[in-house]
Amino acid sequence: MSKYDIIVLGSGPGGYVTAIRASQLGFKTAVVEKENLGGVCLNWGCIPTKALIKSAQVFEYLKHAEDYGLKVKEAEADFDAVIKRSRGVAEGMSKGVQFLMKKNKIDVINGFGKLKPGKKVDVDGKEYSADHIIVATGARSRELPSLPQDGKKVIGYREAMTLKEQPKKMIVVGSGAIGVEFAYVYNSMGTEVTIVEYMDRIVPVEDADVSKQLEKSFKKNGINIMTSAEVTKVDTSGTGVKATVKTKKGEEVLEADIVLSAVGIKTNIENIGLEDVGIAVDRDKILVNDYYQTNIPGYYAIGDVTPGQALAHVASAEGILCVEKIAGQHVEKLDYGNIPGCTYCSPEVASVGLTEQQAKDKGIDIKVGKFPFSASGKASAGGNKDGFVKVIFDAKYGEWLGCHMIGAGVTDMIAEAVLGRKLETTGHEVLKAVHPHPTMSEAVMEAVADAYDEVIHL
């Protein structure tokens, strides 16, 4: 039996980052992976979807070249080539993780891993042991009883990245990050897209003003949006698919070539031995303490399988914290109130901290500032005037409670707010920090200025 200091079950952005940090700390480390190194994020999620989105953005630029004083003969989307490029990007990233495994002298054990009592892992019949075993098995597309996926006409995100033909009509069920990103990609390439959202607004976890702006931008680009709506059944017996949608006005039947189910995720915790070891689970999540220890000594869990936000950067941060704690380092528990969320449709969406409504619900006296990109010189020059930056501060103490952005490149800008909140920056400090001109990032300073009645360019 092979013996390790640490075995990590799963090699997604939680697992492989955890393994690398463990190796850096001097632990003899192994990773168990049943499919591809990099997990869903690198192979079927974060990275290949961004490649698809980039192709869609370039295509949109070509279609609107005349807006920039350029003449381009009629542009055409080669759907197969777009898909092929996306897969190539994913394969390149996965090979990069392979290199990192070798560089850090981490053993990669290929196969399906199952936890065993006594700090052991069974991988397709062969046992391995470790002082510490970390579960990082991630999650997959969740299926609703009314929306069973057949992988052909009713699909999840994996199939949406590898369709053989571009659908003429697509229904996207759910308007979280996955739903709106795919809606944007397919709409940009010429598919007629309808979004069906159960809640009363799209991207419902975001600030209400962001939802309103994204709906406006999407509708301007020809995306149909149905909110307070629910798909109650689908009929795939014909050439396409018929979806029955229940709304406040009654039922209607939508016809399309494809229905994309983007209604959330389901954790990968079945058949991995949790019951055999006695690890506590509640509502599809493995229960852990602040340092990701389960109720059974020597077993840990990070990422989507735990109760925190199901985001790649959260999984990475949890894994690093977990192994640093194992190594005896002094670590601070993760602040889940300061985790940025990013959605890569166009316009992009990024946020951190409390929404305006959440702050009001807490009874906090707040100052709110908002700066539209229509008033930004850089946004105007770039032809990206949709969107805004919105900031929320505690009126009494100046604490930066929340920041919400929608517009071009805002997923790269949100880090300023994350760092500012981490360092307990006040509104006045942000306001007096000189921002470069002309940049999109100036909008952060201008939004803060608006909150304190000092805005110049609005």
Q: Are residues 361 and 330 in the same domain?
A: no
Mean pLDDT along residues 310-315:
95
Report the range of poorest mean pLDDT among 122-136, 142-156, 192-206, 321-335.
142-156
For residue 339, give every residue at least 6 positions away whose Cβ sits within 8 Å of its Cβ, in sequence order, or none. Answer: 308, 309, 311, 313, 314, 352
Q: Are residues 387 and 422 in the same domain?
A: yes
* HSE-CB for 253 with a 13 A CA cutoff: 8
- Best CA proximity match to 166, nearest among 256, 241, 85: 256
- 437 is known as an active-site residue: yes
d(CA 354, CA 348): 19
Q: Are residues 163 and 240 in the same domain?
A: yes
Q: Are residues 45 and 131 in the same domain?
A: yes
Q: What share of the chain in percent tops pLDDT 90? A: 90
- Inside any domain, residue 128: yes
Average pLDDT along the chain: 95
Residue 428's pLDDT is what? 93
Strand partners, 169: 192
Mean pLDDT along residues 299-303:
98
Q: Are residues 320 and 391 in the same domain?
A: no
Residue 44's pLDDT is what? 82
Phi and psi at residue 11, to the nearest 5°: -125, 35
Neighbour count for residue 365 (Cβ, 10 Å): 11
d(CA 68, CA 23): 50
Q: Quick check: 266 and 240 in contact, CB under 8 A?
A: no
Residue 40's pLDDT is what? 82
Of 263, 279, 311, the domain-final residue: 263
Q: Which amino acid belongs to residue 147?
A: L
- Inside any domain, residue 146: no
Q: Are residues 77 and 89 in the same domain?
A: yes
- Best CA proximity match to 411, nearest among 53, 58, 89, 139: 53
Q: Are residues 17 and 131 in the same domain?
A: yes
Q: Quick check: 10 and 133 in contact, CB under 8 A?
A: no
- Inside any domain, residue 397: yes
Could you report the per-residue pLDDT of 345-371, keeping only the tens digit for each? 999 999 999 999 999 999 999 999 999
Mean pLDDT along residues 157-173:
94
Residue 45's pLDDT is what? 83
Q: Are residues 391 and 433 in the same domain?
A: yes
Count up the domains in the chain and report the number.
Answer: 3
Q: Are residues 127 and 274 in the same domain?
A: yes
85-98 as b/e: b if 16+ CB within 10 A:
bbeebbeebbeebe
CATH code of the domain covering residue 444: 3.30.390.30
Please tell me what DSSP assigns to residue 323. H
Q: Establish whether the linkage from the previous residue to 438 is cis, with ω within 30° of 0.
A: yes
Mean pLDDT along residues 308-322:
96
Please tell me what DSSP assigns to residue 322. H
Q: What share of the chain in percent tops pLDDT 70? A: 100
- Best CA proximity match to 452, nearest among 333, 369, 390, 388: 369
Q: Establish whether the linkage from the previous residue to 347 is cis, with ω within 30° of 0.
A: yes
- Local confidence band at 1 (pLDDT 50, 70, 90 cut-offs): low
For residue 3, give every residue at least 6 positions away whose Cβ sits within 8 Å of its Cβ, in sequence order, or none. Answer: 128, 129, 130
Q: Are residues 364 and 426 in the same domain?
A: yes
Given 64, 428, 437, 457, the catalytic residue: 437
Phi and psi at residue 100, to the nearest 5°: -65, -35
- Best CA proximity match to 155, nearest among 143, 145, 166: 143
Residue 457's pLDDT is what? 85
Mean pLDDT along residues 438-449:
96
Q: Which amino acid belongs to residue 191?
A: T
- Local confidence band at 124 (pLDDT 50, 70, 90 cut-offs): very high
Could you report the per-residue pLDDT of 370-425, keeping only the tens digit for each? 999 999 999 999 999 999 999 999 999 999 999 999 999 999 999 999 999 999 99
CA dihedral 89, 94, 99, 104 (to 10 degrees): 130
Residue 422's pLDDT is what? 97
Could you report the per-residue pLDDT of 60-74, keeping only the tens digit for each? 999 999 999 999 988
State CA 89 to chain mean position distance.
Answer: 18
Report the relative pairing of strands 281-282 and 285-286 from DSSP bridges: antiparallel
pLDDT at 177 over 70: yes
- Inside any domain, residue 149: no
For residue 138, give every residue at least 6 positions away whose Cβ sits within 8 Å of its Cβ, in sequence order, or none. Answer: 10, 12, 14, 15, 39, 40, 267, 268, 303, 304, 305, 315
- Inside any domain, residue 45: yes
Q: Are residues 16 and 134 in the same domain?
A: yes
Tell me which residue range forms the domain holding 162: 154-263
Tokens 């990099």 correspond to what residue?
Answer: 38
Residue 43's pLDDT is what? 84
- Please calculate the CA angle 222-263-415 and round it to the nearest 5 degrees: 80
Count helices and strands (H / E) in the chain. 15, 24
Could you report the per-residue pLDDT of 252-299, keeping only the tens digit for each? 999 999 999 999 899 999 999 999 999 999 999 999 999 999 999 999
116 token code pair: 């065993």
CATH code of the domain covering residue 127: 3.50.50.60
457 token code pair: 């360019």
pLDDT at 128 over 70: yes
Residue 46's pLDDT is what? 86
Mean pLDDT along residues 202-215:
97
pLDDT at 24 over 70: yes
pTM over 0.85: yes
- Local confidence band at 8 (pLDDT 50, 70, 90 cut-offs): very high
